[in-house]
Amino acid sequence: MGEVGGAPTLMPTRTRQLVISLMVACAMFMQNLDSTIIATALPTIGRSLGENPLRLNVAITCYLLSLAVFIPISGWTADRFGARRVFSAAIVVFTLGSIACGFAQSLWMLVVARIVQGMGGAMMVPVGRLVLLRTVPRSELVRAMSWVSVPALIGPVIGPPLGGFIVTYWSWRWIFFINIPIGVLGVLLVNLFVENLREGAARPFDLYGFILTGVGLASLAFGFEVGGRGALPWPIALALLGAGGLCLYAYVRHARRVDHPIIDLALMRIPTYRVTTIGGFLFRMGLGALPFLMPLMLQVGFGLDALSSGLLTFASAAGALSNKLFVSPIIRTFGFRRVLIVNTVIGSAFLFGYSFFRPTTPHVVIFLALLAGGFFRSLQMTSINTLSYADVPAAMLSRATSLTSMAQQLSQSVGVGTGALLLYLMLATHGRAVSSAADFSFALAMVAFISILSVPFFLKMPADAGAEVSGRAVASKIGDA
């Protein structure tokens, strides 16, 4: 390990770790929320700026493309300039982008501001996770990750109803201004409690690899995004997906020939990292599809209004928050392998169970099912996120956070695109113009099937995988004594 910049450490260690965990979680929540909250407000923003709301979709797309392009260089940047400095700068950039969005007077101003936001968000998430990994001992990682996993679950769920509430009772500009106090507080806490850890010798910058991963990931994310929303014809979306796939294939070949690739695929030689990355990708597809499919099912298929739909889907977020006291004891008692296998089946079963919802299903049943499903999906994401880094050497952590963030971003886009494709196939098969409740049932059942395909990957893990991180190794030693 290289440079360690000073930071006050008067606070008790356990409390300081909790503060850092919550700080990173808040930064990630800000980024995840911003990805979805604007969608509901597009008609209002369009009227304010004198633009067709359909044209404003470019503001969402450019934000996602900015994320995709800049995530790969986050690890290199943290090693070169220090995690605290980059994390703090990322929050500043994201907050300034939010302010610029709030003051935008035209479409092009909004688009430029969203690109700036995406640049900050691309650094904020992986570098924030890196700060956590370099600050919290591995024995406390499950507890810390249980908080960090929450934003990915609740951001997409509460974004649309919160956006609708703000534009209904306030101005749409407050969608972006609410980030200001969070950003200011985040910068203060980062500089108070985070040390400026970085590697002693920075790796050379892989420009060619950056171009290939940036173009490839952006093309894939854009292709799935526009395909999922029907913003462009499917042939164009497929062409984007093909171009993205070719770029990433070219990058894999490039990464084998250079000493310091921008995304280090050597990480995939670590068994626990490989299993959680591939298996986690499949499970996260369901995670990405659910916030897209469920609100549409409730509103288009069941005829509920946006507020009623939002109140029901909020149950998933409540379920995710409800398991914070239980995650560590569950993983310590059963171990990562058993938890991931059994919980994949349970989580997929809940997704499949949602396909049985009907317009006549009591709302209390829907709420409780989403609540319980949120609990188990949160447990799964905490387990995957923690085990991913259990065996990664300290010198490779920055590269691991970049690759993990890239895979997570892509898996969510693939999940939305898959859900939309399934709905499109049902419409084409039955010759309908509007999706019915049965179409959503089919899509949810297929997404559940995709999620359960991760089980074979988790079965390959040894029984003691991540024992040091889960606490089972310590418990075993105490029992032997």
Q: What is the pLDDT of residues 251-270, one digit of tens each?
A: 999 988 888 888 888 888 99
> Cβ(108)–Cβ(116) under 8 Å?
no
Q: What is the mean pLDDT of residues 448-476?
A: 80
Q: Is 1's pLDDT higher than 50? A: no
Please give the average per-residue pLDDT across 236-255, as a whole number. 90
Strand ranges (E), 38-88: none
Span of 87-91, 186-190, 320-324, 371-375 with lowest mean pLDDT: 320-324
DSSP state of 36: H
Q: Which class for 362: exposed (0-12), middle (13-18), buried (19 or more C-beta within 10 A)?
A: exposed
Looking at residue 326, what is its pLDDT? 83
pLDDT at 475: 45
**Would you identify the CATH topology of the domain 269-475?**
Growth Hormone; Chain: A; (1.20.1250)
Among the CATH numbers 1.20.1250.20, 3.90.230.10, 3.30.420.40, 3.40.1170.60, which is that of 8-201? 1.20.1250.20
Nearest to 361 by CA among 314, 294, 415: 294
Per the CB < 8 A criterion, the answer to whether 406 and 263 are in contact is yes
Amino acid letter for position 100: A
Q: What is the pLDDT at residue 479?
A: 43
- CA–CA dist 297, 26 (Å, integer): 29
The predicted pLDDT at position 472 comes to 60
Average pLDDT along the chain: 81
Mean pLDDT of 436-454: 90
User: What sections of 231-326 are H helices per DSSP?
Assistant: 234-255, 271-296, 306-321
**What's the confidence (pLDDT) of residue 113?**
92
Q: For the purposes of burial, counting CB atoms within 10 Å of the CB of 390, is it exposed (0-12), middle (13-18) or buried (19 or more)?
A: buried
What confidence score (pLDDT) does residue 474 get?
44
Q: Are 310 and 472 in contact (CB under 8 A)?
A: no
The tokens of 346 are what? 């349970």
The residue with tokens 């969070």 is: 182
Does pLDDT of 200 surpass 80? no
* Cα of 262 vs its chain's centroid, Å: 21
User: What is the token pair recorded at 318?
Assistant: 């409540």
Please answer whether residues 359 and 437 qualify as being in contact, where contact means their C-beta atoms are separated by less than 8 angstroms.
yes
| 100, pLDDT greater than 80 | yes
Identify the pLDDT of residue 8.
47
Query: For 322-396, where are the alpha helices, taking DSSP H only?
Result: 327-354, 363-388
Q: Are 354 and 294 in contact (CB under 8 A)?
A: yes
- Residue 88 pLDDT > 60: yes
Q: Please indicate whether residue 95 or residue 170 has the higher confidence score (pLDDT).
A: 95
Please report which confidence band the pLDDT of residue 378 belongs to, taking 50, 70 and 90 as the band edges: confident
Q: How far apart are CA 9 and CA 23, in angstroms?
A: 16
Please choose, from the candidates 161, 180, 70, 191, the residue with its C-alpha nearest in 3D space to the C-alpha of residue 121.
70
422, 443 Cβ separation under 8 angstroms = yes
